[in-house]
Structure 1
Amino acid sequence: MAGNMIPIAGESKKRICYFFDSDIGNYHYGPGHPMKPHRIRMTHALVMNYGLYKKMEIFRAKPATRKEMAQFHTDDYVDFLSKVTPDNMEEFLKEQAKFNLGDDCPVFDGLFEYCSISAGGSMEGAARLSRDKCDIAVNWAGGLHHAKKAEANGFCYVNDIVLGILELLRYHKRVLYVDIDVHHGDGVEEAFYTTDRVMTCSFHKYGEFFPGTGELRDTGHGKGKYYAVNFPLRDGITDEAYKNIFEPVITKIMETYQPSAIVLQCGGDSLSGDRLGSFNVSMRGHANCVRFIKSLGLPLLLLGGGGYTIRNVSRTWAYETGLAAGQELCPDIPMNEYYEYYGPTYRLDVPPSNMEDMNIAKYLEKTKIQIFENLRHTIPVPSVGLQAIPKLPHDEMDIDEDLDNPNERRPQRLLDGLIQRDDEFSDSEDEGEGGRRDIQSHKRARRQSPKMNGNGMLNIYSGIQTSLSQSRQSAELHFNTASSNHDSSLSVDAPDPPVVAPTPIPPLLIWGAFPRPHHLIDPQGMFLRPHYNLIELRPDHLINRPDHLIDRPDYLINRPDYLINRPDHVINRPNHVINRPDHLINRPDHLINRPDHLINRPDHLINRPDHLIDRPDHLINRLEYLINRPHHLIDRPDYLINRLDHQIDRLDYLISRPHYLIDRLDHLIDRSKLVHPIEAVIKS
């Protein structure tokens, strides 16, 4: 595997964070839709089989929450995305029109989870860049640059780029966003159109092409005037032409704007041969943009985007991942689970075609000069006032996270938190055979437990312990409060040992961390009240108990902590009942999750709508198209509703008739006298 990549000479080593969630490839926009999340899984397969995992840290980011998405998107829009599914989409027809869901942005299974994965990777990558935990963060599932504040657009639902930039702005004064997708990055530009803290720069096809925005004259508004850079292009641009405009424009922006972080959207639809694109850029021409941005040496968030010839997209993104990690990947694609996708050449390359370049040199030069002129109007290095950084949920991460070994699934610090002393907890009364009480080493350890001296103090030198009664008497003499907190009926497994004569104690106080100060007796018998909290004299049956158990009666000691504060009549209930509210304890399991107003209904009525509960069974079970009759039949007078059974429950052969017979005119359905159905049909 080492032969699959070669270190790039002269490049300094960068810390790379690579984000991938294996679930991303499970989502599907629908048959015939050009957007294929499966391309992310194909890219990851190449990354792993080339061995790039050795050169970077791989993370599965926490999916973004609704609250995090609402930093940019409206609450109504996020709430709609979290609720709508293919099964209930008919209930949200009005909202679908309002939020622009339809053919381009369909409702599919797992829509909200898909958006959460995409946004979570970009936000976590930005957060790690801001906290200086990496130099480059890669999230190929991100880059969905068309999504608006309250609208889905261009296969994009949640704008992970805007959310990532907002995270960067918490720590960075100015952020540069660069977009090399064939489509204009309208969603990101619109989000930051009126601010000078984010400069957006997009190289895209302009004209009769989606989304129809990104004209050269679109430069921002208000405080953000001239902080939006658009380079409109025509069909067929080549690697050389693209490089000749990309590098000078970015260099000029860096000189003028001087950002402290960069976000690069690497849409793969600008590649040659893309299903929806019209450029003639090869894989290496596309990757040259990544190489140049990386050479600037700023924190870099590398994102995906468009790309609809998925074998070419996965090739390019894998190659660009290698460039980010300082590795040149070999042209022969290694074996992987999607190897057959890359035939017939099985090479890591996307060559250009013989497509005509409509971008003449004069047009490109004129556009470049105009962009330079616009940048001349910007304020050099706009200042940002000092302010407190707002706290977000992911800021509350464990401070020891940096010490964890990334190759361990469960770091040692987590395992240390699970270690307990052998005498930390007592055995359960109903443990039976197999518990520690049946182990000889445990019995021997109990017989050799340390003793108390005559003064009731622990003799750490002799290890001799007085009897239970002597310890309790000592405690009563000097610590009435300690003994009064315990039940008088304490039981001990072992018989009381014989009384042992007091043993002299060196002039030494026993220090500890006890929450309340108490009187202590020094070796000369003097009463002291120390300035510090010292350990109190505990009876022998309390010596080996943790501090938080000292004040509990014995019959509570052996209960798990989560049972201590429960009434006795709850303790003996099964675990699955303990956590239920009291008013639910006595209900059968199948009733627990029902609303209270349904509990007292017979089971066969639970799933009926309320307006059907009081109807006789012979009405409830009628065919659905009879229950849901038109309004002019439902509101009939009572004397028609309560007609004799042979009038309401018309003959079976009438019930089974087609709708055009059931929905006959009122004067046929609501006839006051019984008319034979066959005669009615003949008369009509």
Structure 2
Amino acid sequence: MTSSSKKVVAYFYDSDVGCFHYGPGHPMKPHRLAVTDSLVLNYGLYKKMQVYRPYRASSHDMCRFHSEDYVEFLQRVTPQNIQGFTKSLSAFNVGEDCPVFDGLFDFCSMYTGASLEGAVKINNECADIAINWSGGLHHAKKTEASGFCYINDIVIAILEMLKYHPRVLYIDIDIHHGDGVQEAFYLTDRVMTVSFHKYGNYFFPGTGDMYEIGAESGRYYSLNVPLKEGIDDQNYVQVFKPVIQSVMDFYRPSAIVLQCGADSLANDRLGCFSLSTRGHGECVNFVKQLNVPLLVLGGGGYTLRNVARCWTYETSLLVDEPISNELPYTEYFEYFAPDFTLHPEMVPTRQDNANPKHYLELIVKHVCENLKLLQHAPSVQIQDIPPDALSLENIEEYNPDDRISQAEEDKRIDAANEFYDGDNDVDDMAES
């Protein structure tokens, strides 16, 4: 892989992925992906990356982790025929938090396919970093939806990476515990999961205690950093960096998957942390500088304009391209009133910092002591590498500045994004 500071970055975006709608009043808004991509394009960051309209995952791809009956249900159920699936809705935990909406399976196919293609690019050393902001849906379980997540694209991408990589590290900075990914790899030492999250007071999903450490072959390979409300940039980074550095020293992964849920930002609609985009981005930059092949994914984030700011800023960090604090004009410009900046002055959060110094020191000490109990960098037997989930032969790069054919034009991401044609959710523009 590229050892210099400038890395080859692959960016995956399907212009249709932002058009889905979970329903009136639902906090998860795929529209945030269109707003993020519009900023990425208008800042000119696409010029620093290989941009791809991603592969769409098939039911077969999804069944590498999920049960066949669950995936078949997602394929078949629609808002029009939902009355015929009453038992299945309950069995698969589909309903209020995880509603059935138009195009549900297509949405899952888009975000999962992008993560899977990112993994294949990393495996084949076509990119040092792969970015899929539509992915990172870390709560989905083998046989059920959970926490706005239906298909666990992270688990499917990691399973693909394990074809080439003996050890994969998963890092999660979403405010919610990465329970679906931890559960999937709880019994193996091939994947280490490290989650930094809010824990306690019945906060969803209720898992992620520091004493959840893995079992059987995976004992000590699940690390949890349970935090309390109101944690700020300084405290968060003071925990994040030593924990991740210790993990690197002991586990020595050959690939990393980083879930960048933006609900850990201050003033998130569902969150209670006090991170700024700079503090969140400092964690992403630290992982990037470890110089290990890296798949970067989205996740939570429910104050739309702040999600777009965060992931755009982190895209700029991943491509080593400083960008102006003054936002470029886009079709979504009014979303960012009244300041129209990338790093707005953060209104004092409604949460006091409930993380005293001694508590954070205790967590770091506990994690580091558990790491000392690991067998250093577990190995796997040499074996033939299974075939890739998809072929890269028909995927072409392009130079956005060149004149291109109509066929190539159809494959590329267009700077002239479509306007959102659903419920605009005016409260996203008006919220404080």
Of 15, 31, 36, the residue aligned with 2:8 is 15
Of 267, 271, 275, the residue aligned with 2:269 is 275
Question: For each residue in 1:274-310, what CA deviation from the matched residue of structure 2 results, as whole angstroms up to 9, or x when unmatched?
Answer: 0000000001000001110000001110100000000
**1:272–1:350: 8 Å Cα contact kept in structure 2?**
no
After superposition, residues 88-99 of structure 1 pair within 5 angstroms as 88-99=81-92
Q: Does 1:378 align with 2:371?
A: no
Question: For each residue in 1:100-136, what CA deviation from the matched residue of structure 2 results, as whole angstroms up to 9, or x when unmatched?
Answer: 0010000000000000001000000010011000111
CA distance in 1, matches of 2:374, 2:323: 40
CA distance in 1, matches of 2:301, 2:344: 13
Q: Does 1:25 align with 2:21?
A: no
Question: For each residue in 1:70-120, what CA deviation from the matched residue of structure 2 results, as whole angstroms up to 9, or x when unmatched?
Answer: 000000000000000000000000001000001000000000000000100
Aligned to 1:141: 134
Distance 1:342 1:403, change over 3 A: closer
Of 198, 209, 216, the residue aligned with 2:210 is 216
Of 383, 388, 392, the residue aligned with 2:384 is 388
3-state secondary structure, aligned to 2:390: helix
Q: Which runs of 4+ in 1 moved over 6 A?
A: 402-406
Question: For each residue in 1:9-40, what CA deviation from the matched residue of structure 2 results, as whole angstroms up to 9, or x when unmatched?
Answer: x9721111000011011100000000000000
Aligned to 1:266: 260
Aligned to 1:113: 106
CA distance in 1, matches of 2:373, 2:405: 53
Aligned to 1:567: none
**1:272–1:351: 8 Å Cα contact kept in structure 2?**
no
Q: Which amino acid aligns with 1:64?
A: A
Length-normalised TM-score, structure 1: 0.57
Distance 1:364 1:128, change over 3 A: same
Q: Which amino acid aligns with 1:305?
A: G
Structure with more relative contact order (C-alpha pairs < 8 Å, separation 6 or more):
2
Report deviation, 1:409: 4.6
Of 359, 363, 367, the residue aligned with 1:363 is 359
Aligned to 2:93: 100
3-state secondary structure, aligned to 1:327: coil
Report deviation, 1:390: 1.5
**Aligned sequence identity (%):** 54
**2:145–2:151: 8 Å Cα contact kept in structure 1?**
yes
**1:11–1:326: 8 Å Cα contact kept in structure 2?**
no
After superposition, residues 311-350 of structure 1 pair within 5 angstroms as 311-350=305-344
CA distance in 1, matches of 2:121, 2:97: 33
Report deviation, 1:57: 1.1
After superposition, residues 174-193 of structure 1 pair within 5 angstroms as 174-193=167-186
Aligned to 1:71: 64
Q: Which amino acid aligns with 2:250?
A: T
3-state secondary structure, aligned to 1:43: helix
Distance 1:361 1:11, change over 3 A: farther
CA distance in 1, matches of 2:335, 2:396: 39
Distance 1:266 1:350, change over 3 A: farther
**1:282–1:350: 8 Å Cα contact kept in structure 2?**
no
Q: Which amino acid aligns with 2:128?
A: D
Q: Which amino acid aligns with 2:175?
A: V
Distance 1:125 1:171, change over 3 A: same
After superposition, residues 371-450 of structure 1 pair within 5 angstroms as 371-395=367-391, 397-398=392-393, 408-409=404-405
**1:312–1:350: 8 Å Cα contact kept in structure 2?**
no
After superposition, residues 626-665 of structure 1 pair within 5 angstroms as none
Structure 2's unaligned 5+ residue stretches are 409-432
Aligned-pair Cα RMSD in Å: 1.7
Structure ID, larger Rg: 1
Report deviation, 1:234: 0.2
Of 227, 232, 238, the residue aligned with 2:221 is 227
CA distance in 1, matches of 2:298, 2:65: 20
Aligned to 2:294: 300
**1:283–1:351: 8 Å Cα contact kept in structure 2?**
no
Aligned to 2:150: 157
Q: Which amino acid aligns with 1:236?
A: G
Distance 1:402 1:105, change over 3 A: closer
CA distance in 2, matches of 1:146, 1:344: 34
After superposition, residues 237-636 of structure 1 pair within 5 angstroms as 237-352=231-346, 353-354=348-349, 355-395=351-391, 397-398=392-393, 408-409=404-405
CA distance in 2, matches of 1:80, 1:336: 38
3-state secondary structure, aligned to 1:137: strand
Aligned to 2:44: 51
Report deviation, 1:392: 4.0
3-state secondary structure, aligned to 1:232: strand
Q: Which amino acid aligns with 2:223?
A: V
CA distance in 2, matches of 1:43, 1:403: 22
Aligned residues: 401
**1:405–1:411: 8 Å Cα contact kept in structure 2?**
no
CA distance in 1, matches of 2:329, 2:405: 27
**1:193–1:228: 8 Å Cα contact kept in structure 2?**
yes
